C-alpha cells in the first residue's frame, strides 16, 4: 500500500501537548532577575521611546492652554493623539514622545515664547 506522504507512519503516536511550561532549576537569590524599575510612561513616542527634549511637560501644556486658548482636545489633535492624552500630560501621568514633543515645542514658541521650563 502506497501512502501520499512517504514519511508517514500510521502507527506513530501524536506529539505530546504542552502549554509551554518547562520546569526551571532553583536559583540562588543573587542569580534571580532584579525587580522591574518604574519608568516614565510615554505617550505618542512609538515603540516606547521617550522624548529627548527635557522639559516640565505639565507646565508647558498648561501654559500653552492658557496663552493660546486651545482646548486639551485641540492640542492632542494637533499632536495626532487621543483627546484624553493632553490631560494626562498636564496631570503628569504621561510624558509626550518625540513627535508630540516637537509639536508642543512649536506651539510653545508660537504662543508663549522663550525657553521651555
Domain extent for 96 = 53-111
What tens digit of pLDDT does each residue of 57-115 get? 999 999 999 999 999 899 999 999 998 888 899 998 888 988 899 999 999 999 998 88
66 occurs within a structural domain = yes
13 occurs within a structural domain = no
**In total, how many domains does the chain have?**
1
39 occurs within a structural domain = no
23 occurs within a structural domain = no
Q: What is the DSSP string of 20-53?
A: S--------GGGSPPPPPP---EESSSTTPPPS-
Stated pTM of the model: 0.58
The CATH number of the domain holding residue 59 is 1.10.260.40
CB-based contacts of 12, cutoff 8 Å, min separation 6? none
The Cβ of residue 7 has, within 10 Å, a number of other Cβ atoms equal to: 6
102 occurs within a structural domain = yes
Mean pLDDT of 9-17: 72
Amino acid at each position: 500500500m502506497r501512502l501520499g506522504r512517504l514519511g508517514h507512519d500510521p502507527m506513530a503516536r501524536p506529539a505530546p501537548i504542552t502549554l509551554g511550561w518547562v520546569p526551571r532549576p532553583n536559583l540562588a537569590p543573587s542569580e534571580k532577575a532584579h525587580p522591574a524599575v518604574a519608568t516614565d510612561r510615554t505617550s505618542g513616542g512609538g515603540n516606547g521611546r521617550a522624548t529627548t527634549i527635557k522639559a516640565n511637560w505639565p507646565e508647558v501644556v498648561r501654559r500653552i492652554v492658557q496663552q493660546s486658548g486651545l482646548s486639551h482636545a485641540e492640542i492632542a489633535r494637533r499632536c495626532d493623539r487621543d483627546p484624553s492624552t493632553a490631560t494626562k500630560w498636564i496631570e503628569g501621568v504621561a510624558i509626550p514622545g518625540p513627535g508630540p514633543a516637537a509639536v508642543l515645542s512649536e506651539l510653545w514658541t508660537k504662543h508663549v515664547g522663550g525657553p521651555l521650563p
